[in-house]
Structure 1
Amino acid sequence: MTSISTFQKSFIYVQSAQGLENVLRLTQAICQVVGSLQDSPASAKPWGTAVQKIGLSRRFFRFFGYVPALNRAVSVLTDRDESLSGVGFVLPLAEASRSGFMGLYLLLESLTILDAMDVYVSTSAKKLLTESFKFWFYGLVSSFICIIWQLAFYPSAVPKKAVVNEAVQEAMNEKLSDDGSKPEQPQKLTSRPIQSREMLMSDLVAVSCDILIPGSRLGWIPVNDFTVGSFSIVSSLVYGKRRWISVQRSAAANAVAHL
């Protein structure tokens, strides 16, 4: 397969929804940091406006995010999620809480979108948004519990995963057969395995950074805009690395499928 340049990979990344959202997230955090460093309200106003407008644009990317989140919570509570079988009750309960709280956060936030756009100004929008931040905070706390519990009690609960993407593997297996049918024993692409612990540690860093956003908005964590923006940059880079890999794998799978 022909290798592509970093510029082409970057273009592929920003063309994807998750890549573009992460770029906007990083830009918003940078604007927040720069705005907090201004020496006058007048000079800080443009940066504050940028933070607000970028934040509004990002909300459309997660507008229906409450659907899979709440569905995940129901699946865990009804024992339909096999990935959490045989790990006791604390981890499934924490995971259900995380998904449920995040789903409620996204649901309440979506109800205020018209007010945020100044299309339909509602007196209850501010209260709904405040309640949504509470659920966001609870969801991040639940995520923190999930991560710590897995690191402490289930360090090997999730086996090592191969770096190769399933879509790429399937597409390559289809190409291996000359007559158009899949081989009886498809070849397996192998690469260096990644420890699940690494993923958990990166999640721990991101959650620890992100909890400052709702915490500061609610007044529960006394930090300034510079601190919130700085930690948001860190979490954006953590998420960005993971999303970059995901987008490039999907692009590689599509390229293989069209060979």
Structure 2
Amino acid sequence: MAQQFSRFVKSGAGLEKTLRLIQCVSQVVAALTVGSALAVQLTTVKLQLALSRRYFRFFGFIDSFQHMIALLGKDGFTSVAGLLELAQSTCFGLYFVLEDLTLLHAMGVYAVPWHDRVMDQANTFWFYALAFSVAGALWALLFGPAEKPVKKNGQKKNQKAVSEKINPTKATPSSVRVKQIVVELCDMLIPLELLGWMPTGDVVVGSTMVLSTLLTAQDIWAQV
């Protein structure tokens, strides 16, 4: 367990999830102890960790735009799933770029008067990206291709059943998509709160962040 935890926090993704978990727990406790010295300290912890996590995704726009270009050259416009994935990648890329433009301001290095406007646009694209991702996962669940039966030893078996027999711990595509939907619905509350579109408060947002962080950390934990 200790060795696996060490491998987990040494990986970039695992360390980012660890910092995110501390951040959202600090946010919840600070909201529950508002007015106290502890709340002030934990709010500082939350803000500093939120800033440090931005470094992990600074170049996130590269993967997003590369994926967008790949979709444009493949099937981005030929299917509903392709269109949703294309929209998701585009919005994530724009979110990363706009957020990066305000990093020096957030670090206190170079203040700019347009910080709030740009961050509002960034969070808007973040919300749209998550919404398109949820829509894509729902579309795949409802209208995705059915698993084809395979013939083995003269008998037909469902591909899913064969896969689970070989590797019982391997998640099915449906369960992965359901997990994705839950995670991204939780994360959608963050930009909704930041934009003031659906204020829910720090306790609710922080609690849903804990859930989404633990769910995504499970996959990283299993891989290290």
Please give the TM-score of this superposition, normalised by the length of structure 1: 0.76
Q: Secondary structure at the match of 2:33?
A: coil
Q: Please give the alpha-carbon distance, in whole angstroms, between the structure 2 residues aligned to 1:26 and 1:131.
A: 26
In structure 1, runs of 5+ residues without a counterpart are 1-5, 164-189, 249-259
Q: Give the 3 Å change call, closer, same or farther, for CA 47–92 of structure 1 in structure 2.
A: same
Determine the structure 2 residue equivalent to 1:138.
128
- Aligned residue type for 1:191: N
Q: Please give the alpha-carbon distance, in whole angstroms, between the structure 1 residues aligned to 2:2 and 2:209.
A: 25
Q: Paired residues, what number?
A: 211
Q: Please give the alpha-carbon distance, in whole angstroms, between the structure 2 residues aligned to 1:100 and 1:157.
A: 30
TM-superposition CA deviations, 1:211-254 (whole Å, max 9, x none): 000010001112010000000000000110011112x2xxxxxx
Q: Secondary structure at the match of 2:128?
A: helix
1:194 pairs with 2:171: yes
Determine the structure 2 residue equivalent to 1:177.
none
Larger radius of gyration: 1
Determine the structure 1 residue equivalent to 2:73.
78
Q: Please give the alpha-carbon distance, in whole angstroms, between the structure 2 residues aligned to 1:31 and 1:155.
A: 43
1:70 deviation in Å?
A: 1.3
Determine the structure 1 residue equivalent to 2:113.
123
Percent identity between the two aligned chains: 34
Determine the structure 2 residue equivalent to 1:40.
35
1:204 deviation in Å?
A: 0.8
Query: Are 1:155 and 1:197, in contact at CA under 8 Å, matched by a contact in 2?
Result: no
1:58 alignment partner, one of 53, 61, 74: 53
1:108 alignment partner, one of 54, 79, 98: 98
1:11 alignment partner, one of 6, 10, 16: 6
Determine the structure 1 residue equivalent to 2:83.
93
Please give the TM-score of this superposition, normalised by the length of structure 2: 0.88
Query: Are 1:77 and 1:92, in contact at CA under 8 Å, matched by a contact in 2?
Result: no
Determine the structure 1 residue equivalent to 2:26.
31
In structure 2, runs of 5+ residues without a counterpart are 149-158
1:130 deviation in Å?
A: 1.2
Instruction: Name the structure where helix makes up a greater proportion of residues.
Output: 2
1:221 alignment partner, one of 188, 195, 198: 198
Q: Please give the alpha-carbon distance, in whole angstroms, between the structure 2 residues aligned to 1:156 and 1:73.
A: 26
Alignment root-mean-square deviation, CA: 2.1
TM-superposition CA deviations, 1:141-176 (whole Å, max 9, x none): 10110011011111636975969xxxxxxxxxxxxx
